[in-house]
A = this chain, B = another copy of it.
Amino acid sequence: MGDTSGTGVAFTRDPSTGENRLYGEYLINAQGEDVVAGVRTPQHIDTLKDVMPEVYEQFVGIAKTLEDHYRDMQDMEYTIERGKLYMLQTRNGKRTAAAALKIAVDLVNEGMITREEAIMKVEPRQLDALLHPQFDPQALKAATPIAKGLPASPGAACGQVYFTAKETAAAAQAGQKVVLVRTETSPEDIEGMNHAQGILTCRGGMTSHAAVVARGMGTCCVAGCSEVHIDEEAKTMTVGETVFHEGDFISIDGSTGNVYGSAIATVDADVSGDFATIMEWADAVRRLKVRTNADNPHDAAVAVKFGAEGIGLTRTEHMFFAADRIAAVREMILASTESQRRIALNKILPMQKGDFKGIYQVMGERPVTIRYLDPPLHEFLPSKNMTAEIEAIAKELETTPEAIIAKIDALHEFNPMMGHRGCRLSVTYPEIAEMQTQAVIEAAIEVTQETGHVIHPEIMIPLVGDVKELAYVRRIVDETAHRVMKEKQVKLDYRVGTMIEIPRAAVTADEIATEAQFFSFGTNDLTQMTYGFSRDDAGKFLDAYYQKKIFDFDPFAHLDQNGVGKLVEMAVKLGRQTRPEIKLGICGEHGGDQSSVIFCHNVGLDYVSCSPFRVPIARLAAAHAAILEKQAKQKKKK
């Protein structure tokens, strides 16, 4: 209908940045279909000011009225027919994470909404995008991906390619930024993964070792990228026709799965400003405490920066893999008598004590939960076909390769997940629990004396299924702790508790609570046992489950409230029945998932614990939970 007619969409604020200015498009002499079809390039709404100033003024007025009414940023569709403005539709607009924060804070400052309303306007899971390094948007525009894998752990990484954990660690220590590229990772790669900017694997899904560990570390990871072919001998990786050598630069995006064949600049996460404001408001309303899962001082420090109020899970096995002690660990495993084992454990003791001191120093008076050795012992030995490794170990430990192979055979398990691990190790080798207790208590005493901070260690016994198991291990812990305290003439307040990660522990939680001062729900294992499938293997059939709509979501990402959640609820009820003051937390990956955190609030846990980079998500989700509960109560009253 000519140049006095047109159509467009507009936002009352900028949906990318949150800036408080009208933002939108306008297509002159056109109808709605033309905007959607994208055949013509629309103009910025500001141009309307010049073309039809009265209409523009009217539009600005309406936009303000609508925003005031809905008390949120509006996404509006409009049309102009021969100079007359018609509003077609308005709704709350979608926005980026950064915009969500800014709009929420601004609306409070403008007096439009309360702080609680502001909190509810930010989706906790959205924060993830802000917590990791990102590619510089300009640099990214110039790049084209050369391959695509699974977005296994968010963030962006740029660095030089290395193909082994050892070389990654060495290069990183020499000051290089490294992307570790491997067919798949195993526990032996932990140290290299720790030093890498990002991790790229050719095999494995969203729950593969690389993906799970990277998410825990907050390190960017692209997994299962089958277009990448590695030649470990030649130290090259090939993508299509292009060959990359050790030391060549690549970039990977763990939020999209994209792999780039060159260096792309990254920018760091910023948690100040509006982010900090919203977090502060969230902290004021939440009831759930938020802790972190951290195995070393670095991760603990990151988590504290992100607001962690304690450590809910320190996995001591990651420490056992460290280069300076793996030999002693293997010596312990290969020992054939208790006294030989004790000799090896005595070598590990000072290092383990050092680990704990480092963590206590970072955490100060915040509680620190230390889980005792959990994985089956064969994880600390190479596989049977790694001849060179076996020979090297035999030489170092002054034994024969045959002896090592015999041990590998003896430790072989059909179902390692359901094998000789967790507290079962402490039952068969109580001296391991003794050594770990000595390290926990001595470290706490020393740090208390050195810093003046009173340290509160919480000793967590994994994989308990029967109260008598816990009672047996707890007796060892208590005896050792009392012996150490007597030697040092110091009294220290420590607690002993257990993971609830075996279905039997959940259904007999009333009995278990007689021996446990706290429960921490290990919902990773609990999910595996409750469903009867292992994360490592489920990848083979879960795709069919999603495709056939048997599963709506990944139960390892979101807590299955219907099944696993029922066991959690049962354990909470039974545990409190026996010991009303029992402390209850969760330390599975679910502790950093929005819907799972809300569930944890609702069943009455005291805290959630998650990887450092998820701490802000958990804080915000906990605030959501508290507000939702309050709203539900008010609704009920009415």
Measured CB to CB, the residues of A under 8 A from B are 413-420, 424, 427-428, 463, 465-466, 468-469, 472, 501-504, 507-508, 511, 525, 528-534, 536-538, 540-541, 544-545, 548-551, 560, 562-564, 566-567
Contacts and interface: CB of A to CB of B under 8 A. Distances in A.
Given A420-B541, A466-B551, A534 B503 contact: no
A418 B532 contact: yes
A342 B545 CA distance: 21
A534 B419 contact: yes
A413 B532 contact: no
B502 A532 contact: yes
B465 A508 contact: no
B503 A537 contact: no
7 contacts: A413-B537, A414-B537, A415-B418, A502-B531, A503-B530, A508-B563, A511-B562
Give the dominant DSSP class at A's interface: helix
A570 to B, nearest CB: 8
B563 A504 contact: yes
Contacts of A420: 537, 540-541
B503 A567 contact: yes
Contacts of A525: 532
A469 B501 CA distance: 24
State the oligomeric state as a number of copies.
2
A566 B508 contact: yes
10 nearest A-B residue pairs (beta carbon): A504-B563, A419-B537, A502-B532, A415-B534, A418-B534, A503-B503, A414-B536, A415-B415, A415-B417, A468-B550
A529 B505 CA distance: 12
B415 A537 contact: yes
Most buried by B among A463, A560, A563: A563
Nearest to A570: B507
B414 A534 contact: yes
A521 to B, nearest CB: 14
A530 B549 contact: no
Contacts of A417: 414-415, 418
Given A503-B529, A507-B530, 9 more contacts: A413-B540, A414-B534, A415-B537, A417-B418, A418-B537, A419-B540, A468-B550, A469-B550, A504-B563
Contacts of A511: 562
A549 B471 CA distance: 11
Contacts of A548: 427, 472
Nearest to A428: B544
Contacts of A541: 420, 424, 427-428
Contacts of A463: 532
Contacts of A427: 541, 544-545, 548, 550
A627 to B, nearest CB: 30
A540 B420 CA distance: 7
A342 to B, nearest CB: 17
A526 to B, nearest CB: 9
Given A427-B544, A540-B420, A507 B567 contact: yes
A507 B551 contact: no
Contacts of A414: 416-417, 534, 536-537
A430 to B, nearest CB: 9
A445 to B, nearest CB: 30
B532 A566 contact: no
A414 B537 CA distance: 7
A502 B541 CA distance: 17
